[in-house]
Amino acid sequence: LTIVESAAPEQSTPKRAVIVAIAEPARAAAWRERLAALLPDYTVVDDTEPTPADRVRYAMVWKPRRGFFGAYPQLRAILSIGAGVEDILSDPMLPQGIAIVRMIDDALTVGMREYVLLHVLRYHRRQPELEAAQQERRWQPIDAGTAAERRVGIMGLGVLGCDGARHLSSLGFKVAGWKRKPAAIDGIEVFAGREGLDAFLARTQILVCLLPLTAATRELIDAEFLKKLPRGACVINASRGECLVENALLAAIDSGHIAGATLDVFAREPLPPDHPFWTHPKITITPHIASLTALESGARHIAAAIADLEADRVPLGLVSRGNGY
Ligand code: GLV
């Protein structure tokens, strides 16, 4: 999606444009319409429409095709409709020196909160074992213990990770977080960097991955990593499939070390029909729906970011290219 600024009626200068690049046409149309209503000074265009390239000032994108940005010499910023920006940062034609803004949206935060609470509670209450017993008509009471006895570990303490950690804490779970650099977060024990990873894993019974995909997090969850979790731990991945080595997870589950996994994201999406995850009794999969950006609030975030950039203010969600998120 490209936003193009169009001419104000009283002048002959054409408006600048915001270009929208989203592969699904219905979704692209909905975003164009919402943004156009919020950005009267711009023409909001689709990347499939012929648009003078030098008019395009902002690009609003989701999984843009490789090289997309190279076509727009006047681009001021790239606005992602998702929280993850690895597809933008890895584009070989990404212009230097322009801002990249990731999505920060209340609906996205609440959606992830619900997903994390749902699946942590499901493992905490040992619901998969109850479901297996039901399949066999087995009356099998299980005392799951209380949340205060359950140690949950969240990897990635950004907007989504901190929110999930806070809500799990308020249910009484013992919550720790792991991030790149040390930080003090109320009510959450924070482990940092490679130095803090082993201790974080050793105390974590339910692991939730909300990490951005960067060179440092790609395939972080491998065989060695999984071994450092206590026997019987469960893994929830709602960030990026590439943070996890799929075969290592399968082996760790099949050996009995890892009790189960809930995965929303995969190295290949859609997950191929012959993938072993589909039918594995200890794996729950969801089709990358843990949390979705809402059109209304998401478009407001983008309009606010454009207003901030035009006024030389730092927009919410400004990405650090060095950090990769
Ligand atoms: C979804 O995966 C996102 O990055 O928002």
- Of 76, 125, 288, 321, which residue is the catalytic one? 288
The amino acid occupying position 42 is Y
pLDDT at 325: 96
Per the annotation, the verdict on 240 as an active-site residue is: yes
Provide the token pair at 211: 């990490």
Q: How close is the Cα of 82 to the center of ligand 1, in Å? A: 4
82 in ligand 1 pocket by Cβ < 6 Å?
A: yes
The amino acid occupying position 297 is S
Q: How close is the Cα of 51 to the center of ligand 1, in Å? A: 28
Contact 165, 190 (CB under 8 A): no
pLDDT tens, N- to C-terminus, the chain (325 residues): 666 665 555 556 789 999 999 999 999 999 999 999 999 999 999 999 999 999 999 999 999 999 999 999 999 999 999 999 999 999 999 999 999 999 999 999 999 999 999 999 999 999 999 999 999 999 999 999 999 999 999 999 999 999 999 999 999 999 999 999 999 998 899 999 999 999 999 999 999 999 999 999 999 999 999 999 999 999 999 999 999 999 999 999 999 999 999 999 999 999 999 999 999 999 999 999 999 999 999 999 999 999 999 999 999 999 999 999 9
Nearest alpha-carbon partner for 240 in 90, 106, 94? 90
Q: Are strands 99-101 and 206-209 parallel, antiparallel or unpaired?
A: unpaired
159 in ligand 1 pocket by Cβ < 6 Å?
A: no
Q: How close is the Cα of 242 to the center of ligand 1, in Å? A: 13
Q: How close is the Cα of 21 to the center of ligand 1, in Å? A: 15
- Of 126, 150, 180, 240, which residue is the catalytic one? 240
Q: How close is the Cα of 240 to the center of ligand 1, in Å? A: 8
Locate tokens 């308020």: which residue? 170
Within 10 Å of residue 193's Cβ, how many Cβ atoms?
Answer: 12
Locate tokens 């209450």: which residue? 125
Within 10 Å of residue 205's Cβ, how many Cβ atoms?
Answer: 21
Which ligand 1 atom sits nearest the alpha carbon of residue 108? 5
Q: How close is the Cα of 292 to the center of ligand 1, in Å? A: 7
Task: Compute the distance between CA of residue 315 and CA of residue 319 in angstroms, rounded to an integer.
Answer: 10
Q: Which residue from 242, 269, 291 has its CB within 8 A of the most atoms of ligand 1, so it is best to mutate?
A: 291
Task: Compute the distance between CA of residue 130 and CA of residue 134 in angstroms, rounded to an integer.
Answer: 6
Locate tokens 């990026």: which residue? 240
pLDDT at 11: 56
212 in ligand 1 pocket by Cβ < 6 Å?
A: no
Per-residue HEC secondary structure of the chain comes to CEEEECCCCCCCCCCEEEEEEECCHHHHHHHHHHHHHHCCCEEEEECCCCCCHHHEEEEEEECCCCCHHHHCCCCCEEEECCCCCHHHHCCCCCCCCCEEECCCCHHHHHHHHHHHHHHHHHHHCCHHHHHHHHHCCCCCCCCCCCHHHCEEEEECCCHHHHHHHHHHHHCCCEEEEEECCCCCECCEEEEEHHHHHHHHHHCCCEEEECCCCCCCCCCCECHHHHHCCCCCEEEEECCCHHHECHHHHHHHHHCCCEEEEEECCCCCCCCCCCCHHHHCCCEEECCCCCCCCCHHHHHHHHHHHHHHHHCCCCCCCECCCCCCC
Report which protein residue has its CA nearest ligand 1's atom 5. 82
161 in ligand 1 pocket by Cβ < 6 Å?
A: no
Per the annotation, the verdict on 280 as an active-site residue is: no
pLDDT at 257: 98
Give the contacts of 296 (CB within 8 A, at least 6 positions apart): 34, 107
Angle, helices 127-135 vs 106-124, to 10°: value is 60
84 in ligand 1 pocket by Cβ < 6 Å?
A: yes
Give the contacts of 309 (CB within 8 A, at least 6 positions apart): 76, 77, 99, 315
* Global pTM value: 0.94
For the chain, the residue count is: 325
Which ligand 1 atom sits nearest the alpha carbon of residue 265? 2
